[in-house]
A and B are shown apart, each in its own frame.
Chain A
Amino acid sequence: MLEEDDDQILEELESVVILFAGDSGDGMQTVGELFTDTCAHSGFNMSTLPDYPAEIRAPAGTIAGVSGFQVHLGSAPVLSGGDAAEVLIAMNPAALNANLDRVVPGGMIVVNIGAFTDENIRMAEFESNPLDDEVLNERFEIVKVNLNELTKHALADMDLKMKDKMRCKNFFALGFMFWVYHQPLTDTLNFLEKKWGKKRPQLVEANAKALRGGHNYGETYEGARNRYQIAKTQVKPGVYRKISGNQAIAYGLVAASQACARPLTYPSYPITPATSILETLAALKHFNVKTIQAEDEIAAAGIALGASWAGDLAVTGTSGPGMCLKSEFLGLAVITELPMVICNVQRAGPSTGLPTKVEQADLLQAIYGRHGECPLPVVSCSTPGDGYYAAIEAVRIAIKYKTPVILLSDAYVANGSEPWRVPSVEDLPDLRVEEAEEPKDGEKYLPYKRDPETLARKLAFPGQKGNEHRIGGLEKNESGAISYSPDNHEEMVNLRAKKIQGIAKSYEPIKINGKAKGKVLVLGWGGTYGAITAAMNNLIAEGYPVASVHIHHLFPLPLDLKDILNSYDKVLIPELNSGQLNMMIRAEYLIDTISYPKVKGQPFTVTEITTKVLELLN
C-alpha cells in the first residue's frame, strides 16, 4: 500500500482504518472524534469504533489504561469500524503493545518516542525497547515522532505549566494526521473556540498551536512521507450528519413522542453504556421531555410505568445488570398492559463483566427472562443511525398494542458513529391511537376489553371523568375485577400471548441482501449488521451463491422468516454471544442452523465473517 513518493503527490485510497491509542487520560476519544468530524464534513463515508477501558483513569502507562478510537474511512459506504488498522497512532509503549496485533503487516505506526522511557517500556510489559526491534521495523512502517519535545517547542512562548503543555500533545498528533490525510484544521479550531473560548482562552491558544504545530511538522518532516486522499464516490443525495447510536435513539424517542402526541418521560439510572441517552434527552426539555435521574434501576422502571398509566410516553434505558432489576416491573407492565419502552444497551456480562465492551448476550433475557408467562416484543437496532428508526418502531408497537417493548442496542452501536442521512419529519408515521372516551350514560369502562383486531385494550388516563378504575398485579377479568378463576387466568395468559404474536402481522417484509435462493444465508441481528453486510456484499459481488438477512424484530419473529431460511442450503447465524438467536431459530423452526458465536467483547470483523462463509461453501 505504501509507495515512496518524495514529491508528496497525494495518493488515492479506497479506504483506510486509523486507530488512535494512548493512555485513557491522553484525550484519544476527543481527537478520534475530531478527526472523524472533519472527515465526515469532507464527505467521506465512515464508521467509528471507540474502545476504552472501564476505569476512568487506569494507572498511566499500563496496558489496562489504554484507550483507543478506531475510525474507518472510505469512498464506498463504510459498514463497520474496520478490521485491522492500517495506521496506528501510539502515544506511549502501552498503546503500542496493546494494539500491535491489530495493525496490518506493512501498516504505518506513528509512535511518540518521547514517551518511550525505560519506565514506560517496562510498564507496557515490553522486555526491551520495541523500537529497536528489527522484526518490528521490518514488519511495519514505523514513524518516530517525539510528540513531547515537539509539543514543548510549539508551546515554548506560552505561559503554561509543563504539565498543561504536555496535555496538548494529542492535538499535535491530530494536526500531523490531518496533514497526512490532507484535511483542513477549521473544524477543530472551531471546536476549541466553542469549548474553551469563553472560559479558558489560553487553552484554545495552546491546543491550536499544538494542532498547527503538528500540521506544520508534516510539511517539514524529514521522512517526506506520502500524503493520502480518499477517493470519492456518489452517495444518495440528501442532508447528512454524523450520529452515534445513543444519540439516534434519543432523537427517535423525541420524534416518536411527537408522532404519538404524548409528552416523553424518561427516567433512568446512570449505567455504561446507556447513560448518554439520558444526558442527550436531559438537554431536550424544550421538546416537552421530562428526564428523571431515578434513585435506582427499579425506580426508573416504576416512574416510567406510573407516567405511562397517567398518559405520557414512558421510556427508560439501561444495560444488562439494570435489566435484571427492572424485570419485576416488566411483569407488572405486561399484566396491566401498559405501554413503555425499555432500551437495553448491551455490554459484555454477566455482572459487571466488561462494562465498556460489546456483546449481544441479553437476547434470551429480553425474550424469556421474567417470571410467569410474560411475553413482550423485542426490537433491535443494527447501526448507529438505525437507532432512530428502531426507537420509533418500539414506540409504535408499545402504544398500539399496550405492551412494554424492549429495544436492544449494544455498546458498539451506542458509541460508534456514522454519517446519517437526515430524515424528513414529514416522513414520520402517525403513531396516535384512540384511547377510551368519556362514558356516555350507563356505559362502564372495561379496562380489559379488547380490540378484536389487535387484541389491545383501550386506556383511560387518570383524571378522565367517569372511567375511574383499578389496575394492578393481580390477575383480572375483562371488567377489571380481581379474578382467581383458573379458567380466567388461562384465558388471560393466552390472550396476552396471542396479542403479542399478532404484532408480527404489522411488520414490513424482510429485505434480503442477495438472491432469494442459494447455498449460504447469513442471518444476523443488531450491531453485527456492518461486518456481516460488508462481508456479504463482497462475496455477492464476486459471484458466490450467498445472501444475508438482518432482522430487527426478535420477538415475535417475522412471519416471512421461516420461508426465507428454508430457501438456502445452509444458514449461518453469527452473534456476539454463545448462540442465543441460533437456539431460538432451531426451537421455533426446527431448522439445522449453524451457530457462529463470538464473546470477546469485540465486534465481528469482515474477515471473520467472510472466512466462515467461504468455509461453509467448501
Chain B
Amino acid sequence: MADTIEEKPKLTRQDFSASHPRWCPGCGDFSILNTMQRVFADMGFTKEEVAVVSGIGCSSRFPYYVESYGFHTIHGRAPTVATGVKVANPDLSVWVVTGDGDGLSIGGNHTIHALRRNIDVTILLFNNRIYGLTKGQYSPTSEVGTKAKSTPMGSVESPIDPLRLALSANATFVARTLDTDPKHMAKVFKAAGEHKGTSFVEIMQNCVIFNDKVFDPVTNRKTKLDTMLYLEEGQPLIFGKDSNKGIFMKDSMPKVVSIEENGFSEEDILVHNTSSSHKSLHYMLADMKYPDFPTPIGVLKCDESQTTYNDAVTAQVKEAQEAKGTGDLQALLRGPDSWEVKEGDLG
C-alpha cells in the first residue's frame, strides 16, 4: 500500500474523527486528540493504515475517537498488543496511547521492553501526574507531598521520570511536549511518527478535575518562555522572553547563564544534538527541571541508526527461508530419523 502515495486521497482532520469524545470539559486530552487527527492527515495516512492501541485510563479511550483501526486493551498492556500488531503487519502505522499510571506503573515493564526492542511504534504518554478515571489518586509521576484521595497526608513516594526511564531503556526517540501548544505537539508527533523505531513522547497534560494546573508553573503562557527550554536540533540551548539565557557547561554540570553578561556569548552555550552518541547530553536534559532549570521541550534524542525490532524479525524469517527454502511440512513431520514399517513387517 505504500508505493501508491500519490494516488491516495488527501484526508483532513475531520476524516479521522470518530465518535464524540467523552472527556471532562476542559480536559487537555481534547487538544491532543485534535492535534493527532490533524497530524494523521498531514502525514498523508489513509484511515486503514493507522492502528491506535491503548490501555486503560482516561487517555486510553482515545482509539474510540479516531476513525481508523483501534484497540482499547487492558491496563498497562498496550505496548504488548501494539508489538503483536506491528510484527504481524509492519505496514501499519501503530500508535500507543497511554498515561502515567498505565504506562509507568502497572505497565512499566512493557514500556521498558518495547523501548529496548525498538519496535517501530509511537508511544504517546499523557502525563497528568494523577489517576483520573478512578477519581483522583496519586500516580507514579506525582511529586513527593502530593495530596490526593489515597494520600491525604501527602505522597511519600519519589516520582519516576518518564524521559529518564525511556533513555535508560535505550529508547531511540525521546521527546516532551505539552497539551496547550498544538503547534509544538504537531511538530513532535510528526517527528515521532516518522522515526523508525520506538518513539516515546511525554505530553504534559492537564487534568482539570483532579490535578488542575499541576504543570502551570512550567507551562503558563505568561511565563513559559522563561520556564521552558524549546529544543531545536543544532541550535544553542537558549531560552527566555528575550532569548538571553542559555545552558553553559561548567565542571561537567549544566548552569544557566545570561548571554552578554559576565563575558558569556552565544558561542559558550551548549548546542543541541539529538543524535549525539554521547548519551550524557540527553540524560542531562532529562534531568533539567523547573525551577532549578527551564524544563526542556521538544526532541531530546533521535537515533535513526538502530534496526527496528519488526525489521529484524522479518529479516530472520527471510534469512531462514533463503537458507532452507520455504519449509517443507512433510519433511518436517517425517524428520531425519524415521523408519518404515511395511505390511507383514514385525515392528
Which residues of A pack against B, CB within 8 Å?
37, 40-41, 43-45, 187, 232-243, 251, 254-255, 258, 263, 265, 267, 284-290, 292, 294-296, 298-299, 301-312, 314, 328-329, 331-332, 336, 422-425, 461-474, 481-482
Contact in complex: B81, A468 (CB < 8 Å): no
- Between-chain CB contacts (< 8 Å), 16 pairs: A41-B337, A41-B339, A234-B344, A239-B339, A258-B329, A265-B87, A285-B319, A303-B83, A310-B86, A461-B89, A463-B1, A466-B48, A467-B48, A469-B69, A471-B70, A471-B71
B225 sits at the interface (CB 8 A):
no
Whether B253 is near chain A, meaning CB under 8 Å from some CB there, is no
Q: How far is the CB of A34 from chain B (nearest CB, A)?
A: 12
Interface pair A306/B68, CB less than 8 Å apart: no
A284-B327, A288-B326 in contact; A265/B84 too (CB < 8 A)? yes
Tell me whether A240 and B340 are in contact in the complex, defined as CB-CB below 8 angstroms, given that A303-B87, A306-B53, A329-B77 are known contacts: yes
Contact of A254 among B77, B92, B332 (CB under 8 A): B332
Collect the chain A residues with CB atoms within 8 Å of residue B74's CB: 328-329, 331-332, 473
Q: Report chain B residues within 8 Å CB of A44.
A: 347
Q: Is the CB of B73 within 8 A of A43?
A: no
B345 within 8 A of A: yes
- B64: chain A residues within 8 A (beta carbon): 470, 472, 482
**A237 CB contact (under 8 Å) in B67, B82, B345:** B345
Contact A309 B84 (CB under 8 A): yes
Q: A302-B110, A473-B73 are in contact. Are A463 and B92 (CB under 8 A)?
A: yes
Q: Are B49 and A286 in contact (CB under 8 A)?
A: no
Report the separation of the CA atoms of residues A471 and B52 in the bound assembly, to the nearest whole angstrom: 11
With A306-B71, A329-B77, A472-B63 given, can you name 14 additional A-B contacts, CB distance below 8 Å?
A37-B337, A234-B346, A235-B347, A240-B338, A286-B323, A299-B77, A299-B113, A303-B81, A307-B88, A336-B71, A423-B333, A465-B46, A468-B67, A473-B72
Choice from A254, A292, A469 contacting B313 with Cβ under 8 Å:
A292
Whether A290 contacts B329 in the complex (CB less than 8 A), given A43-B341, A43-B345, comes out as no
With A and B bound together, what is the CA distance between A287 and B73 in angstroms?
30
Most chain A CB neighbours (cut-off 10 Å) among B53, B74, B319, B340: B74
- Chain A residues with CB under 8 Å of B234's CB are none
Q: How far is the CA of A17 from the CA of B228 in the complex (A)?
A: 77
A301's nearest neighbour on chain B, judged by CB, is: B80
Query: Chain A residues with Cβ under 8 A from B327's Cβ?
Result: 254, 284, 286-288
**Bound Cα distance A25, B12 (Å):** 67
Contact B47 A232 (CB under 8 A): no
Contact B330 A424 (CB under 8 A): yes
Residue B278 lies at the interface, judged by CB distance under 8 Å to chain A = no
Most B CB within 10 A of own CB, among A233, A286, A424, A464: A286
Q: Is B14 an interface residue (CB 8 A)?
A: no
Among A314, A332, A466, residue most surrounded by chain B Cβ atoms (within 10 Å): A332
Query: Does B334 reach chain A (CB closer than 8 Å)?
Result: yes
Contacts of A286 in B (CB 8 A): 317, 320-321, 323-327
Residue of A nearest to B75 (CB): A328
A328 to B77 alpha-carbon distance, docked (Å): 10
B contacts, CB < 8 Å to A:
1, 18-19, 46-49, 51, 53-54, 56, 63-64, 66-74, 77, 79-89, 91-92, 109-110, 112-113, 313, 316-317, 319-321, 323-327, 329-330, 332-335, 337-347
In the complex the two chains form, is A292's CB within 8 Å of B89's CB? Answer: no
Find out whether the CB atom of B343 lies under 8 angstroms from the CB atom of A237. yes
- Which chain B positions have C-beta within 8 A of A241? 333-335, 337-339
In the bound complex, how far is the Cα of B341 from the Cα of A232, in angstroms? Answer: 12
B83 to chain A, nearest CB (A): 5
B80 & A299 in contact (Cβ 8 Å cutoff): yes
**Nearest 10 pairs of A and B residues by beta carbon:** A306-B84, A472-B72, A302-B80, A232-B346, A287-B327, A310-B88, A235-B347, A306-B81, A307-B84, A462-B69
Are B1 and A425 in touch, CB under 8 angstroms?
no
**A467 surroundings in chain B (CB, below 8 A):** 48
Residue among B91, B325, B334 with most chain A CB within 10 A: B334
Cβ–Cβ contact B326 & A462, under 8 A: no
Please indicate the chain B residues that have their CB under 8 angstroms from the CB of A292 in the complex: 83, 87, 313
Which B residues are CB-close (under 8 A) to A304?
84
Chain A residues near B81 (CB-CB < 8 A)? 302-303, 305-306, 309
In Å, the complex CA distance between A463 and B1 comes to 9
A295:B323 contact, CB within 8 angstroms: no
State which of B316, B341, B343 has its C-beta within 8 Å of the C-beta of A240.
Answer: B341
Q: Are B345 and A234 touching (Cβ within 8 A)?
A: yes
Q: When the two chains form their complex, are residues B71 and A470 in contact, meaning their CB atoms are under 8 A apart? A: yes
Which residue of chain B lies nearest to A304 when distances are taken between CB atoms in the complex? B84
Evaluate contact between A464 and B71: CB separation under 8 angstroms.
no
Q: CB-nearest residue of chain A relative to B1?
A: A463
Residues on B with C-beta less than 8 A from A285 are 316-317, 319-321
Flag if A290 contacts B313 (CB, 8 Å): yes
Separation of A463 and B93 alpha carbons in the complex (Å) = 10
Cβ–Cβ contact A463 & B53, under 8 A: no
Give A255 to B77 CA distance when docked, in angstroms: 30
Closest to B56 in A: A473
Considering only CB atoms, which chain A residue lies closest to B65 in the complex? A470
Residues of A within 8 A of B69 (CB): 462-463, 468-470
- What's the Cα separation between A304 and B81 when bound, in Å? 7
- Minimum C-beta distance from A351 to chain B (A): 21
- Residues of B near A424 (CB, < 8 A) are 330
Contacts of A471 in B (CB 8 A): 70-72
A306 CA / B54 CA spacing, docked (Å): 11
Return B174 CB to nearest CB of chain A, in Å. 20
- Residues of chain B within 8 A (CB-CB) of A298 are 77, 80, 110
The answer to whether A43 and B92 have CB atoms under 8 Å apart is no
> Which B residues lie within 8 Å of A254 (CB)?
327, 329, 332
Taking CB as reference atom, which chain B residue is nearest A282? B316
Residues of A with C-beta under 8 A to B332: 251, 254, 284, 287
CB distance from A231 to the nearest CB of B (A): 8
Interface pair B346/A306, CB less than 8 Å apart: no
- In the bound complex, CA of A258 to CA of B346 (Å): 35
A470: B residues at CB distance < 8 A: 18, 63-64, 66, 69-72
A285 to B49 alpha-carbon distance, docked (Å): 27
A463, B326: Cβ atoms closer than 8 Å: no
CA distance A41 to B339 in the complex (A): 7
Cα of A251 to Cα of B329 in the assembled complex, Å: 9
- CB pair A481–B19 under 8 Å, yes or no, is yes
B85 partner residues in chain A, CB cutoff 8 A: 306-307, 309-310, 462
A316 to B46, alpha carbons, bound, how many Å? 32
| Measured CA separation A292–B113 after assembly (Å) | 12
Whether A465 and B70, one on each chain, are in contact in the complex, defined by CB atoms closer than 8 angstroms, is no
- Minimum CB–CB distance from A561 to chain B (whole Å) comes to 31
A209 to B343 alpha-carbon distance, docked (Å): 38
Bound Cα distance from A299 to B329, whole angstroms = 29
Alpha-carbon separation in the docked complex, A242 to B71 (Å): 43
Is B333 touching A251 in the complex (CB atoms < 8 A)?
yes
CB distance from B230 to the nearest CB of A (A): 35
Given A286-B320, A304-B84; A310-B92 close (CB under 8 Å): yes
CB–CB B113/A295 < 8 A: yes
In the bound assembly, the distance between CA atoms of A231 and B82 in angstroms comes to 58
Expressed in whole angstroms, the minimum distance between the Cβ of B78 and any Cβ of chain A is 8
Query: What residues of chain A lie closer than 8 Å to B83, measured between beta carbons?
Result: 292, 299, 302-303, 306
Checking B54, B329, B339 against A425 with a beta-carbon cut-off of 8 angstroms, the contacting residue is B329
CA distance A465 to B320 in the complex (A): 32
